[in-house]
Amino acid sequence: MARPVAPRWWTPVLVTIVVLVSAAGVGFLLRGQHPVTGVGNTSSHGGSIETKAPPRPPAPGPPTVMLAEDVALHPDADRIRKVLQTYFDGINAGDYNLWRSAVIPQWARDMGETAWRAQYRSTLDSSMVVHRLEPRVGGGLVALMSFTSLQNPADAPPGLPVRCLRWWVSYPLLGQGEALRLGPSSPTANLFVAC
């Protein structure tokens, strides 16, 4: 007796699912790499600073940082959510000083306001979810998270000039209590695909 053949529309769906699961798996495997702070850790996504950014469309999801159930049980969950929310609010509002208040001083110094404005000039982030927290070698924690970004395609990462990206990143969380701040993620550990 012949085996039934699956409908043809399943093939692209399965390929998409496999690619997304693989990308997430690679991100979790790469999470142990340590970020390197410094000038080489930041970059402009292209274009000229003088170019006026187009009006920002609505984000594809909520602009609120959400915590997975395990993360929400962490003793510092509220502070972690707050510092991440401040970080993304600064980017979404184009407010460098707000962003700077959420990151370690060295990151703000290394990047500088001009480079920051060039990098995030058309970015709008949403659907931010912290999936896991892990101990960081040398102290602190690492937040493994995902989010969606909208940007001018010219400001997207090289090689993928698209309007919408889905990101998987890991941010070091340094300090304690009210002094908790974000460190830069390692660009080699960031994964992204077109939405």
For the segment 117-162, what is each residue's pLDDT rounded down to a tens digit? 999 999 999 999 999 999 998 888 999 999 999 999 999 998 899 9
Residues 6+ apart with CB under 8 A from 8: none
89 found inside a domain: yes
Number of domains in the chain: 1
- Cα R_g (the chain), whole angstroms: 18
11 found inside a domain: no
103 found inside a domain: yes
- φ/ψ of residue 43, rounded to 5: -155, 155
Q: Residue written as tokens 């699912």? A: 17
155 found inside a domain: yes
39 found inside a domain: no
DSSP states of 21-35 as a string? HHHHHHHHHHTTSPP
pLDDT at 58: 54
pLDDT at 30: 38
126 found inside a domain: yes
Which 3 state secondary structure label does DSSP give 44?
coil
Beta strands in 109-159 (DSSP E): 124-135, 141-150
Domain carrying residue 67: 61-194
End-to-end CA distance of the chain: 42
pLDDT at 186: 85
152 found inside a domain: yes
Return the CATH number at 182: 3.10.450
Q: Are 91 and 111 in contact (CB under 8 A)?
A: no
Interatomic CA distance for residues 125 and 123, integer angstroms: 6
Q: What are the residue ranges in the chain where pLDDT is below 50? A: 1, 3-6, 9-54
Is the model's pTM score more than 0.75?
no
Alpha helices in 37-194, H assignment, sequence order:
69-72, 77-93, 96-100, 105-120
- φ/ψ of residue 192, rounded to 5: -155, 145
